[in-house]
Amino acid sequence: MKTIIYTIVLLFTTIVSLAQQDAQFTQYMYNTININPAYAGSRGALSIFALHRAQWVGLNGAPVTNALSVNTPLKNSRVGLGLTIINDKIGPVQENMISGDFSYTIPTSDQVSLSFGIKATANLFDLDVAKLNPVDDDPALHDYNNKFSPNIGVGVYLHSQKAYVGLSVPNFIETNRYDDNEVAIFKEKINYYLIAGYILDLNSTLKFKPALLTKLVEGAPLQVDLSGALMFNEKLTIGLSYRWSAAVSAMVGFQISDAIYIGYGYDLETTRLDNYNSGSHEIFLRYELFKNNDKITTQRFF
């Protein structure tokens, strides 16, 4: 029985280890709070963000991710606060993560600020044994029904109205999800992130923003996401992204009003997985209130 469980869990672990550890997002530039707690409050508004991602559509047991976050600066202070809830499903595994973020911002000049952040996360890990179709019931597997584990992370975020760069480690604690004879075969590893972006004014109605995300995980290839987006009249955004040796993506967004922004992204695999799925879809909505124009905030682009 343990050999069967080892093989099945190892299969899903291989997918997660090679493709992603933390939940993966194509439109990461709009969802920075998920990977860097120092981002909390940096937009100078109460920002509410909701996202749905269906990855590798058509592949049985493929990842499906839902995310909801809220972050805001505290009035008349340098403190920012955030709360993020993520539901991530892949095969028989489901994870629910609730994170609280705290940031403190120091102005380094009239145009540039440096933010430091701390993230505290509660993780609930659930293994649906019924989906494994076990021949015999293994009581040990029932220990993974909403199993709780804590985590903590940190980040730094240097930003202005034209550019940003950030370094972060959202989860410092490596958690063993399933052990067999003291060998971890499903392990949550440390993810290291570097992000950067810049806004270039091409003319009075057209802006261009290149962006970069790199992610390093032990035992997996370095992930590099490169993207470029054009914004027309501060309303319509169209962009392309390339995930190194993994996927190409198209992105579109529209600023419906000063408060509401919606976006959609589509990924097409460049690996052999392309033969088994019809791509990945990602849609999000951002709603903002109580904008503080006195704070340095990178409107709309990041």
Read off the pLDDT of residues 119-142 as tens digits, 9 standing for 90 and up. Answer: 999 999 888 777 776 655 666 565
Q: What pLDDT does residue 127 have?
A: 82
pLDDT of residue 186 exceeding 80, the answer is no
Burial of 135 (0-12, 13-18, 19+ CB in 10 A): exposed
Domains with residue ranges and CATH for the chain? 1-291 (2.40.160.40)
Which has more pLDDT, 192 or 218?
A: 192
Q: What is the pLDDT of residues 50-102, one digit of tens each?
A: 999 999 999 988 999 999 999 999 988 999 999 999 999 998 889 999 999 99
Q: What pLDDT does residue 179 have?
A: 55
174: pLDDT confidence band, cut at 50, 70 and 90? confident
**Dihedral sign (CA 128, 131, 132, 134):** positive
**Dihedral sign (CA 238, 240, 241, 246):** positive
Q: What pLDDT does residue 2 have?
A: 43
Global pTM reads: 0.84
Rounded mean pLDDT, 10-23: 48
